[in-house]
Amino acid sequence: MASVQPQTTDTLEPPTNGVNGATTNGTTNGFNRNLSTNSLKKLNSPIPYCGSTNDLPAYARSNSTLSRHSPDSAASVKASGDNLRECTEYVPLHKRIEKRISSGTPFFSLEFFPPKTANGVANFLTRIDRYRDGGPMFLDITWHLGSDPANIEKETSSSSIAAACLAYCRVDTMLHMTCAQYPKEQTLKHLQLAQNLGIRNLLALRGDLPINDSDPSIYPYRALDMIRWVRTHFGNYFTVCASGYPKGHPEAPSYAADIAYLKMKVDAGADFIITQLFFEAETFETFVADCRAAGITVPIIPGIMPIASYDSIRRVAELSKLTIPKHIMDTLESIRHDDEAVTKYGIHLAVEMCRRLLDSGVAPSLHMYTMNREHSCREVLQALGLWQHESIRSLPWLPHGGHHPLRCREDVRPIYWCARPKSYIFRTKDWDEYPNGRWGNSSSPAFNDLQEYYMFYLKGLPNKEAMLQMYSRELNGIEDVCRVFVKFLTQEPNEEGVKISKLPWNEQEFETSAETELIKDQLVWCNENAIFTINSQPSVNSAPSSDPLVGWGKPGGYCYQKAYLEFFISKARAIKLKAVLEQYPQVNYHVINKDASIDWSNSDPTMPIAVTWGVFPGCEIAQPTVVDPLSFRVWKDEAYDAWLNIWAALYPEESKSRKLLQDIHDDFCLVTLVDNDFVKPSVLFEILEQVISDENEAAVTFAASG
């Protein structure tokens, strides 16, 4: 391949002083010093993984947590016929609901309200990520007037949160919208805004009327009006949900009148109904029977709120103007001072009620009012067998699939952002179209500004104290930095007894993939020797698509990967590495430093290289993950910034710790290596052994002379 070496102001001679060169007592002092006797051992070159558990190291074979796939969920997905991750066309929510109901497979959905503070947004999205793993059909976000709900410039607004859930959490999202507080023209603008944000699902509501406001601005519009406006001005673009009240709306003239009004909303274009919460199965059963008798045929989904605490359920009941049945109140009164007992009782009640509704078939699914909490709703869903784990990944990374009207066909991404998917989504959110089939030979990929991502999503990082516990309160030398990386890989507690749950380059906690276990020993060795790895994948040769470690795609297929390694390494070592790589023509490399004054590569300057691909029955070869030189130059700014904006910022400006991390940022190069010969043992770690071999020899000589 052609060698691409832009002009650089850096000499190829290793420096003789400063952080890379000064020597003391015969040993290298700085980033190239011998860090561990482990560097003296001979590493085994990882053989290509072919899908057999016999290829796994012993610790991986015995680790039951490695499996991504659950047989139970596989049967569930097969039964439903609705593995949305595989869809490449947008499927309207009400169509998917109808399909699931016709298959007889129950499902669930979730309701949340916007977080109150900007700092809470990222934590909220992380919570949504955890819920998404359970397989909800959709979630909805309440229209919270206090959040300035239509202001997309405000991070905590209902519209911003709904758009973020759809884009960054990759789950179909429904936005509540009220109309009594606005003139018709304003509500139409809200609907247009929702369309512009890619939101396709609405819960049409009148909205609560002010109680204490002496001069409220109230308009004579109700949910029925909004549903009609939606169908008149937007046709069938939106799936529209209507609210139902099993005991009748408290302001309705009568229960029968409220059922008649609900029928009008359905006739105007509502696609399905979600009910207000209730406490007894009989209430919902009677409501459904009365709706069917009135000619309402659309799906009716019960709204479920497990009792979490004595005070909260009394407050919710008061606001909703609901009466809690006496037998429930009597039990709650007897345990009101025992929060744990109240929570367990609430879970028990919800499970028994929901099981009756699902088993009888009167309820096709459940809509959980989470109150932005996780425990009770998750417990209920797990007890009912509704909490799922996806049986097989449709791609190596988590796609939007049929959830998103624009990104539904996206099936190719650069590998660099695999630990920061939200960053990638944010930085590409303004693209008119997304790669499908192949990345292509791009000349100028347009990525949004990195600082905007930092301003928003990095607010969800652990607090400073938690990060200092993980990353060390003081860094006295390069060995301390190595220790952080190693402890992250091994998940052994550090000196403070804390497990390092994420590195500055990870968005989510404990984000080492199952396949990392295949090369864990080699990665630990790298980081013990100040080769700081931030991304990697082992070589894979014809592993079944059902494989629990590396499988993805349709059943009956085979998956392939080239060994890939991305790491930071000192400039002096990078110079040695470049020389060693001349002996390995099967390896593509890209070496760059913080300001791109070093930018060495032996790849075509604009041509991507597929590093993951799959072969499946009746399909073209899929190439979902690539190494792309132009995208790498964008990513390097983000990778370098993590040293300073996340890690170094924990320490005082003039501290030894901050200076050390600044020196690493300034001196180290960011490197990617791709071993194209995926059928043979990978040579990537062999190459790195050669780079530091002379350092090891010097260390042995010094130890012997001592």
Q: Model-level pTM greater than 0.75? A: no
Active site residues: 111
Lowest-confidence pick of 254-258, 285-289, 300-304, 601-605: 601-605
Other CB atoms within 10 A of residue 253 CB: 11
Residue 613, Cβ neighbours under 10 Å: how many?
20
Confidence at 211, pLDDT banded by 50, 70, 90: low
Structure confidence at residue 310 (pLDDT)? 87
pLDDT > 60? residue 67: no
Domains of the chain: 18-65+448-705 (no CATH), 71-383 (3.20.20.220)
pLDDT tens-digit map of 20-66: 433 333 333 345 444 444 444 456 788 889 986 544 444 444 443 33
Least confident piece of the model among 116-130, 201-215, 426-440, 446-460: 446-460
Q: How many CA atoms lie within 13 A of 4 on its CB side?
A: 15
Contacts of 650 (CB under 8 A, 6+ apart): 464, 467, 468, 471, 657
Q: What is the mean pLDDT of the chain?
A: 85
Residues 6+ apart with CB under 8 A from 491: 499, 500, 510
Contact by Cβ (8 Å): 175, 166: no
Q: What angle, rounded to 10 degrees, do the helices at 656-667 and 478-490 form?
A: 80
In tens, the pLDDT along 301-322 reads: 999 999 988 888 888 888 778 8
Residue 540 vs residues 45, 427, 561, 678: alpha-carbon distances, Å: 14, 30, 5, 7
DSSP-assigned beta bridge partners for residue 536: 565
Least confident of 295-309, 392-406, 516-530: 392-406
Query: Burial level of 120, CB count in 10 A (0-12/13-18/19+)?
Result: middle
Q: Which residue has the higher pLDDT, 20 or 378?
A: 378
C-beta contacts of 647-650 below 8 A and 24+ residues apart: 647/471, 647/504, 650/464, 650/467, 650/468, 650/471
Residues 6+ apart with CB under 8 A from 417: 423, 424, 635
Tokens encoding 487: 């402890």
Token digits of residue 486: 């190693």
Spatial distance between the Cα atoms of 118 and 686, rounded to a whole number of angstroms: 47
Q: Which of 27-31, 107-111, 619-623 has the lowest mean pLDDT?
A: 27-31
Of the CA atoms within 13 Å of residue 399, those in its CB half-sphere come to 31
Which amino acid, 607? M
How confident is the model over 150-181, as pLDDT tens digits? Answer: 999 998 999 999 999 998 888 999 999 999 99
Read off the pLDDT of residues 236-268 as tens digits, 9 standing for 90 and up. 999 999 999 999 999 999 999 999 999 999 999
